[in-house]
Amino acid sequence: MLEMIPNSESPLLTERHGKIVVLRLNRPAVLNALNNQLMQLLVATCQELDADPNTGCMVLTGTDRAFAAGADIEELAVQKHLNMFQQGFFEPWDQFAALRTPIIAAVSGYALGGGCELAMMCDIIFAADNARFGQPEVKIGVTPGMGGSQRLTKLIGKSRAMDMILTGRMMHADEAERAGLAARVVPLDMLFSTALEAAQQIASYSKAVTMTAKEMVKQSEQTSLHNGVLFERRSYYALYGSDDQIEGMQAFMEKRPPVFQR
């Protein structure tokens, strides 16, 4: 049974199910637009969960209509260059992207601008069949500012990224899966259960191992194949002698389910 932290007025709702924590963006009147308050709350909450050994996986989601339709334009429209530069506007999102616990984005409806960028900061994107992804900032006189030009290009390639960023067009769920942006597309009514099932599987493993595996994959985006393989190998060696490595292999040989400690 899901345990919900009661506060329906909060822009972020949190549910715990064992080692899984579901984070639900909760600004439906503005299609979950990402303002500074929501950013700060989401980052702080996730950092706390990241440090908790009892949190094995997080699921980030929104509403059926919108994961997040972008940054809050009313908040952005009054900003000036010097103010944004001095405040390091959007920089807290780097802290979200640096989280080590696996995170699944369960996306339904619109994931546009900052919403698309937030989904891409997660480790896996599951999309409902009504999901729409896009970086339409060009339509309001700006560009992506939360990493969209970089992450989108790495995920779907230069030509597709240019197409989306320069035209502002939306990519439907099926195209997003073909392009490599979404891992799976499922019917809307199956999105949450699919994400929860995958999260339960991830959380059933050793957190030290899933964190290490996540680091390996992320390293591949930053380095050459030779250095990436070397990083993988050193990380693999480092797991040997841990309680969970010993338990996992012993359980396999004894033909029983492993009982991981962390």
In the residue annotation, 3 being an active-site residue is answered as no
Pairing relation of β-strands 20-25 and 170-172? Answer: unpaired
Pairing relation of β-strands 110-112 and 124-128? Answer: unpaired
Evaluate whether 73 touches 140 at the Cβ level (below 8 Å). Answer: yes
Strand partners, 60: 23, 105
> Pick the catalytic residue: 56, 114, 134, 147?
114
Edge-first strand listing for the sheet containing 66-68: 66-68, 110-112, 132-134, 170-172
In the residue annotation, 74 being an active-site residue is answered as no
Task: Write phi, then psi, for 35 (nearest 5 degrees).
Answer: -95, 180
In the residue annotation, 137 being an active-site residue is answered as yes
Task: Write phi, then psi, for 143 (nearest 5 degrees).
Answer: -125, 175
> Pick the catalytic residue: 137, 148, 176, 198?
137
> Pick the catalytic residue: 33, 68, 69, 71?
71
End-to-end C-alpha distance for the chain, whole angstroms:
22
Residue 107: closest CA among 59, 47, 42: 59
In the residue annotation, 254 being an active-site residue is answered as no
152: tokens are 């989108």
How would DSSP label each residue in 52-111? -TT--EEEEE--SSEEE--B-HHHHTT--HHHHHHHTTTTHHHHHHT--S-EEEEE-SEE
Q: Pick left, alpha or beta for residue 67 (phi over 0 → left; psi -120 to 50 → alpha; otherwise beta).
A: alpha
> Pick the catalytic residue: 117, 128, 147, 161?
117
How would DSSP label each residue in 96-134? HHT--S-EEEEE-SEEETHHHHHHHHSSEEEEETT-EEE
Give me the active site residues, please: 71, 114, 117, 137
